[in-house]
Amino acid sequence: MLGSGGREHALAWKLAQSPTLTRLFAAPGNPGIAQCAELVTLDATNHEACIRFCEENTVELVVIGPEAPLVDGLGNSLRAANIAVFGPDKAAAQLEGSKGFTKDLCARANIPTGGYIRTTSLDEATGALSKFDAPYVLKADGLAAGKGVVIAATLEEAEAALADMFGGQFGEAGAEVVIEEFLDGEEASFFALTDGETIIPFGTAQDHKRVGEGDVGPNTGGMGAYSPAPVLTPELQARAMQEILRPTVDTMRAEGMPYSGVLYLGLMLTKDGPQLIEYNCRFGDPECQVLMMRLQGDLAAIMLACAKGELASAAADFAEETALTVVMAAEGYPASAKKGGAINLGDAEAEGAKVFHAGTAIKDGQLVANGGRVLNVTATGANVTAAQEAAYVAVDAISFESGFCRRDIGWREVAREKGA
């Protein structure tokens, strides 16, 4: 398995439980992943080295956790060497690698999504704002670690954000900017696995993108999540499968870009039904953590069936209980996170909670913060209220003085459960 974050710790933790697994390697991994996999040093950008390692160690399946290696075409290289891969090839990974690519595909396949304009210069983008009403949705076209989206309340804010984007705020990812129609509704995440033909649902979740409680402040990679998301009713899930997923998979296959792996749909639940906000070509982070807490069965077998084009023979079952995860982040995140803060996990896992490592390291025998999002404290319960309570009990058992977290993860659903 390739990756080093909380998503990869959750995947490694679940893979390690698979009865069909004989040996699990992780590169580069982290201190949490080291508890359930053998860590190895591999550079995901060095495709030849990855292939050589797999051949020397008789690796039957490579699970690519993050999006960058997928967009870079590592899947193509491994498949060319007859190594099974969970994750799409380079062409299919454009669904996440280019916002404009996905919007164009939606237009061709008549997939419900907001109106948009692709722009390649500051002047063009500024002029295009007149075609939209506030608030303005601005997205860097390429990969920006989940932070390339700005929702500007006023024209002045939008113009300033565009200047930042084209000025290099997101590097090459901001060389093109997609301006989108603002969609009104509640946001939710829907996951599915596909081998290019068969599609099976793989759970729902709701993420909390803003850094501050009450959903205020700048966007982050995600400050917490829970699964399942009751707002994504069975009816809405069926509509998402029929109106969004099926035409996407069929169109990609017809156009010579068959998609294999997980598809993560960011949906806006509007008065007209679910509309696609964006696709990701890997599991969400921290949504993966709550999905893995609920998943029942053999993850390795499911992933291998997907990679071999045999997904029709697989099934994914999830526990009915709710899982909720709270991100503990380093002081200064998301702007400039303070690294090196000491961490003591205490008895956080004593009551069945699980602490997934997202950005940690060992320094002189001490667990320390080594990233912006540091820990994903995850617990389960009969509903969101119960899972939230259990998660914060675990959070409070952890000593991490230079860290912080939101104290309201799951707040919308907790309010609904309490009839507020």
Other CB atoms closer than 10 Å to residue 120's CB: what's the count? Answer: 13
Specify the amino acid at residue 366. Answer: Q
- Measured distance CA(412)–CA(398) in Å, rounded: 25
pTM for the full model? 0.95
Q: CA 194: distance to chain centroid?
A: 17
Instruction: Examine the pLDDT at 420 and tell me if it is beyond 70.
Output: no
Of the candidates 277, 377, 367, the one whose C-alpha atom is nearest the C-alpha of residue 324 is 377
Torsion sign (Cα): 46, 25, 281, 199: positive
pLDDT digits (tens, 9 = 90+) for 336-390: 899 999 999 999 998 899 999 999 999 999 999 999 999 999 999 999 999 999 9
Q: Is 32 exposed, middle or buried (0-12, 13-18, 19+ CB in 10 A)?
A: buried
pLDDT digits (tens, 9 = 90+) for 230-279: 999 999 999 999 999 999 999 999 999 999 999 999 999 999 999 999 99
Quickly state the pLDDT bin for 30 (edges 50, 70, 90): very high
Specify the amino acid at residue 417. Answer: E
Torsion angle, alpha carbons of 192, 323, 287, 162, to 10:
120
Contact predicate 143/114, CB 8 Å: no
Averaged pLDDT score across all residues of the chain: 95
Give the pLDDT of residue 143: 86
Of the candidates 404, 408, 398, the one whose C-alpha atom is nearest the C-alpha of residue 338 is 404
Q: What's the distance, Cα to Cα, between the start and end of the chain in Å?
A: 43
- The tally of CA atoms less than 13 A away on the side-chain side of residue 402 is 20
- DSSP state for residue 186 in the 8-state scheme: E
Instruction: Say which range, 5-9, 87-91, 241-245, 331-335, has the weakest mean pLDDT.
Output: 331-335
